[in-house]
Amino acid sequence: MRIKYEQNFHPIGQGLFYSSSLYLNNNILANVIFDCGSENIKLIKKRIKELNSNDIDVLIISHLHYDHISGLDFLLKNRRVNTVVLPYLIPKE
């Protein structure tokens, strides 16, 4: 049995976008996205298109600042996201 974990920091300028994959015997077990935003929307769209899978098992959002969530609309329209983890939000948010 061979287990592999791969994590990628995507250089998208001001913002944050990480993706990671967990493999078992070269088969993908899980794809995870951590935040999905950039001040440069063209660059974040390009990076989303380059992801290795159409299925995202877990999308984790650290907080709701624009440079961490600006690519969400595009991501959700172009990939299937199974689970979303959001920060605690007060009712006003």
How would you list the strands of the sheet with 3-9, edge to edge?
3-9, 15-24, 27-38, 55-60, 80-85
What are φ and ψ of residue 67, in 5° steps?
A: -75, 5
Neighbours of 9 (CB within 10 A): 11
pLDDT for residue 53? 84
Work out the mean pLDDT of the chain and round it to a whole number: 92
* In the chain, % of residues over pLDDT 70: 99
| Per-residue tokens: 10 | 């995507």
Give the type of residue at 67.
D
56-87 pLDDT, tens digit per residue, is: 999 999 999 999 999 999 999 999 999 999 99
